[in-house]
Amino acid sequence: MRVVRRNQTGYAFSDELSYSSLLDAARVASSVVENQSRTNPIDVTRRNPPQPFTLQNPEPLMLEYTKFDLLQRMDAAARGVDSRIVSVRIEYLDEVRDVLIGTSDGIYVLDRQYLASITCAPAAQAGGKRGSGFSSMGGRVDADYFARNSPEEAARQAARQAIRLLEAGPAPAGPMPVVVAPGWGGVLIHESLGHALEGDGIRRGTSLLTGLVGTRIASPLVRVVDDGRWPNGRGSCAVDDEGTPSQRTVAVEAGVLQSYFLDKQNAVLLGLRSTGNGRRMSYRNWPIPRMTNTYLDAGTSDPASLLNGIARGFYAAELGGGSVDTTSGNFNFAVREGYWIEDGRRTRPVRGAVLIGNSLETMKRIEGIGTDLVVEQSRGTCGKDGQMIPVGVGQPTVRFSSITVGGPSI
Partner 1 sequence: MPRQPAVELAERIRIQAERSGAQEAETYLETSTTTEARLRQGQVELLQQSAIQGLGLRVFRDRRMGFVYTTDLRETVLNELVNRTLALTSQATPRDENKIAEFLAVSQSDLEIRDDAVARLRPEDLVRFARAAEESAFAQDKRIQTTKDVRSGTAVQEVYFSNTYIPRQTYRATTVWLSATPVATQGSQRREGTFIDRKRFLADLARPEQIGQRAVERALAKLGAATVPSARVPVVFSAEAAGVFLQGLFGAFSALNVLEQRSFLAGKLGQKIASQNVTIIDDGTMRRGLASRYFDGEGVQTHRTVAVAGGILQQYFHSGATARRMNAPPTGNGVRSYDTLPAIGPTNFYIDYGSSTHKLVDEVVRGLYVTGLAGFGVDTVSGEYSQQVEGQWIEKGQLTKPVEGVTVAGRLDEMLLGIDGVGRDLDFRSNVASPTIRFRELAVAGGA
Binding site for partner 1 (CB under 8 A): 7-17, 21, 25, 28-29, 31-32, 64-65, 68, 86-87, 89, 123, 125, 129-132, 165, 171, 173-175, 204-206, 208, 284, 286, 320-323, 325, 327-328, 330, 332-334, 351-354, 356-358, 404-410
CB of 390 to partner 1, least distance (A): 18
CB of 301 to partner 1, least distance (A): 26
CB of 393 to partner 1, least distance (A): 15
CB of 89 to partner 1, least distance (A): 7
Q: What is the DSSP letter of 371?
A: S
Query: What are the φ and ψ backbone dihedral angles of 401, each rounded to 5 degrees?
Result: -65, -30
Comparison of 112 and 204: residue with beta carbon closer to partner 1: 204
In 229-271, beta strands by DSSP E:
248-253, 256-257
Comparison of 162 and 375: residue with beta carbon closer to partner 1: 162
CB of 197 to partner 1, least distance (A): 16
Comparison of 246 and 265: residue with beta carbon closer to partner 1: 265
Comparison of 44 and 354: residue with beta carbon closer to partner 1: 354
Q: For residues 167 and 350, is the Cβ–Cβ distance under 8 A?
A: no
CB of 391 to partner 1, least distance (A): 16
Q: For residues 227 and 234, is the Cβ–Cβ distance under 8 A?
A: no
Of residues 103, 190, 166, the one with CA closest to residue 379: 190
Comparison of 16 and 59: residue with beta carbon closer to partner 1: 16
* DSSP assignment of 59-77: SS---HHHHHHHHHHHHHH
CB of 3 to partner 1, least distance (A): 9
CB of 150 to partner 1, least distance (A): 23
Distance of alpha carbon 30 from alpha carbon 12, whole angstroms:
9
Comparison of 302 and 385: residue with beta carbon closer to partner 1: 385
Comparison of 313 and 370: residue with beta carbon closer to partner 1: 313
Q: For residues 154 and 118, is the Cβ–Cβ distance under 8 A?
A: yes
Query: What are the φ and ψ backbone dihedral angles of 99, each rounded to 5 degrees?
Result: -120, 125
CB of 278 to partner 1, least distance (A): 15
How crowded is residue 407: how many other Cβ atoms within 10 Å of its Cβ?
Answer: 20
Query: Which residues, including other chains, have CB under 8 Å from residue 403's CB and lie 6 or more apart?
Result: 175, 176, 178, 314, 355, 356, 357, 362, 365
Distance of alpha carbon 294 from alpha carbon 314, whole angstroms:
24
Comparison of 125 and 149: residue with beta carbon closer to partner 1: 125
Comparison of 109 and 382: residue with beta carbon closer to partner 1: 382
Q: Around 43, how many Cα atoms within 13 Å sit in the side-chain half-sphere? A: 1
Question: DSSP alpha helices (H): ranges in 81-150?
Answer: 145-148
Of residues 296, 210, 218, 205, the one with CA closest to residue 250: 296
